[in-house]
Amino acid sequence: MSSSPRPALSAYELRREGWIALTQRLGVSGAIRFLMQYEAGHGDYTVERRELFSDLTLDEAIARIRSASSNHD
């Protein structure tokens, strides 16, 4: 894998390159099955996130993350 930076791809080029990568690795049917697992979704995650975490301070968030992380070790 090359570590040199690539120029930014247009949306079309990104989709094309992604499709090529998927079909080379998974085959056409596997690539289609993979893509069918995703849906556009709905709502506004930014608004929902602000509502969900409106009472959570940064220190509380960090403490929760550390606690969850230590429970998985």
Question: Per-residue b/e over 43-67, b at no fewer than 16 CB within 10 Å?
Answer: eeeeeeeeeeeeeeeeeeeeeeeee
Residue written as tokens 């992380």? 69
| Residue pointed to by tokens 């429970």 | 71
Q: What residues of the chain score a pLDDT lower than 70?
A: 1-4, 73
pLDDT given for residue 30 in this prediction: 96
Tell me what pLDDT residue 41 has.
81
* Cβ-contact 31, 44 below 8 angstroms: no
pTM: predicted TM-score of the whole model, two decimal places: 0.47
